[in-house]
Structure 1
Amino acid sequence: MKQRLILLVLKGVGRLPLGAARCLGAFIGWMLYKTNARAARITKTNIALCYTGLPQAERDQLARQSLIETGRTGVEIPVLWRRKESWLRQHALEYEGVELIRRAREAGKGIIILTPHLGNWELLAATLTLHGKITFLYQPPKNSELEEYVVAARKRSQVELAPTNRRGVSMLIKALKAGEMIGILPDQVPDKGYGGVEAPFFGESALSMTLVHNLLQRTECEVLMCYALRVAGGFKVVMAPCEPDIRHSDVLIGVTALNKSVENCVQRAPAQYQWEYKRFKRRSEGAPY
């Protein structure tokens, strides 16, 4: 019953206009901050770890704005799931760095698109498929009804979904070797013992995925950062280069460069990063949560 209720709420929220969804999300985020909810406490902890030189008043301001933006993201997502590709593309109001993906496609190589938890990543599939077929790695929900709904929402034309298991990794390799694009959220914490190494993220030790490093070593592909920032009335899609050392044969150097590439994106709009995610869990020195 609880799972069906969640599904009904998602479908109901998905009918909201974008502006109304953003207003509702901002209110939810503001309430999380005012009540010092769990998400607020994690957000404050992460910001304190990553912005040690920032005065306390500015950290509090960033935490408040971050929770408001996270609330907006959360309510926007079911709205974006219900909209057609044409609507999504119409609301990609600005583009930056699109020549990077055009040049990569012209080279005929596969491309790894790294999409951190910044802005609203759910918009990206509709814009990236303008450049060809893409396979996204995703974590299937435990609820079968919810998974069916999410898969139907995300699996649009020229979009494939690869589960986070061996079969999914095989799908990614196959797509890259065929000269296609794949999408990966690079700032997710892997399970211990499953493709992770500790590397610095904003100067803090964080268990980080080695999947991107392994794919770069196994395939001759390009790699780019991509994110969709929230702007008035829609989104700005940004594509940016990664740190050069992301291709280094040494796994720690490569993963450190991966994390630095994510940092560079976050610094563009720190309030729109998902700071309430427990990025520093599962590390050997102990989690700060």
Structure 2
Amino acid sequence: MKWLPLLMRFLALWPLPILRALGWLLGHVLFALAHSRRHIVRVNLGVCFPQLSAWQRGHMARRHFVVLTQSLLDRAWLWHGSADVLRRRLTVKGDLSPLQGAQPVVMLAPHFVGMDAGGTVLTMLQGVAMASIYTRQRHPVLDEWVRQGRNRSGRIKLYFRQQGVKQIVSGLREGDKLYLLPDMDFGREDSVFVPFYGVQAATVPSLSRFARLGRAQVLTAATRLTPQGYCLEVGPVWPDFPTPDSQADTAQMNRALQAVIDTMPEQYYWVHKRFKTRPEGEPGFY
């Protein structure tokens, strides 16, 4: 694993079209070989897009593996490329003023393949001091490389998931801009079941909870992979959020997430078992 940072530094020098072509090739190889992950993607797409034909979902699945692999290779220039490379390949749309004031903000930053690029846009190009919740990688060399890459700007405060929420709430009350990714199945504990594409999905109500306890504004920050690089799309501040009903808030979060997924469905992180935890008595999907 020690070779990985060296390889990525080398790939950071490649022209983007060549690097993306390599990602296209490796993505098709991964689609052919990663049987279990391919099964997960197909199940997720079948649950969420039953109106599409089997051929359409199969094409979307293959395309997902391609953009996922391209995004993994793009970490090379995101984390090791020059500032000039970042300025040429990264753009942003939307109003960034809420992220530049003193008011705490929680960003709904869903698991799209460009999620790390979004963090780089904010910290490296926009100068936003950001906070994020970090889950350690199993291999220490990989863990060190990921942490250094995500915080190459020195502007990211990393909270570790196992340390609890008290420190995160305290940081928000001091004005943190929290880059939150709450759209995965973390199990039954601390989750509520709310619809996701019309199917009950175990979802942590952390967006509502952090916004309420941290007295923070909420907005969506979704990052789109483009032929030129990535575009971070920042939405407006959500009005009348949070409410006293965290379950209703979490359902609203999933509706907002769906609206963005529908604009780039192949770029969502479908390799995750999003419907792994089922309500009592329901059979599993996978």
Q: TM-score range by the shorter chain?
A: 0.7 to 0.9
Per-residue deviation at 1:11?
3.3
| 1:161 to 2:155 alignment | no
Q: Deviations over 1:170-207 (max 9, x none)?
A: 332222111220111121222332x2112111111211
User: Which residue of 127, 136, 145 maps to 1:149?
Assistant: 145
Q: Which amino acid aligns with 2:233?
A: V
Per-residue deviation at 1:22?
1.8
The verdict on how the C-alpha distance between 1:279 and 1:145 changes in structure 2, with shifts beyond 3 A counting, is same
Q: Deviations over 1:200-224 (max 9, x none)?
A: 1111121111221211221221111
Give the unaligned 5+ runs of structure 1: none
Question: Which region of structure 1 is more displaced relative to structure 2, 123-132 or 54-63?
Answer: 123-132
User: Which residue of 237, 242, 260 maps to 1:265?
Assistant: 260
| 1:82 to 2:77 alignment | no
Q: Which residue of 1 aligns with 2:272?
A: 277
The verdict on how the C-alpha distance between 1:241 and 1:90 changes in structure 2, with shifts beyond 3 A counting, is same
For 2:201, what is the secondary structure of its paired residue?
Answer: strand
Q: Which residue of 2 aligns with 1:46?
A: 44
TM-score (norm 1): 0.87
Q: Which residue of 2 aligns with 1:229?
A: 224
User: Which residue of 202, 208, 212 maps to 2:203?
Assistant: 208
Q: Which residue of 2 aligns with 1:125?
A: 119
1:160-199 matches, within 5 Å, as: 160-167=157-164, 169-193=165-189, 195-199=190-194
CA–CA distance in 2 between the matches of 1:176 and 1:198?
A: 26
8 Å CA contact 2:45, 2:57 repeated in 1: yes
Per-residue deviation at 1:14?
4.2
Q: Which residue of 2 aligns with 1:95?
A: 92
CA–CA distance in 1 between the matches of 2:269 and 2:241?
A: 23
CA–CA distance in 2 between the matches of 1:286 and 1:89?
A: 48
Q: Which residue of 1 aligns with 2:59?
A: 61
CA–CA distance in 2 between the matches of 1:159 and 1:23?
A: 31
CA–CA distance in 2 between the matches of 1:84 and 1:150?
A: 18
Q: Which amino acid aligns with 1:69?
A: V
For 2:10, what is the secondary structure of its paired residue?
Answer: coil
8 Å CA contact 1:243, 1:261 repeated in 2: no
Q: Which residue of 2 aligns with 1:238?
A: 233
Question: Which region of structure 1 is more displaced relative to structure 2, 79-88 or 222-231?
Answer: 79-88
Q: Which residue of 2 aligns with 1:115?
A: 109
Q: Which amino acid aligns with 1:175?
A: G
User: Which residue of 108, 133, 139 maps to 1:137?
Assistant: 133
8 Å CA contact 1:243, 1:257 repeated in 2: no
8 Å CA contact 2:201, 2:275 repeated in 1: yes
Per-residue deviation at 1:137?
0.9
Per-residue deviation at 1:10?
4.8
Q: Which amino acid aligns with 1:278?
A: K
The verdict on how the C-alpha distance between 1:165 and 1:288 changes in structure 2, with shifts beyond 3 A counting, is same
CA–CA distance in 2 between the matches of 1:239 and 1:181?
A: 13
8 Å CA contact 2:5, 2:145 repeated in 1: no
Q: Deviations over 1:41-97 (max 9, x none)?
A: 1111111100111122222221121121112122222442223555334321x3221
For 2:157, what is the secondary structure of its paired residue?
Answer: strand
The verdict on how the C-alpha distance between 1:260 and 1:233 changes in structure 2, with shifts beyond 3 A counting, is same
What's the C-alpha RMSD, in Å, of the aligned pairs? 2.2
CA–CA distance in 2 between the matches of 1:262 and 1:95?
A: 19
CA–CA distance in 2 between the matches of 1:203 and 1:241?
A: 25
Q: Percent identity?
A: 22
TM-score (norm 2): 0.88
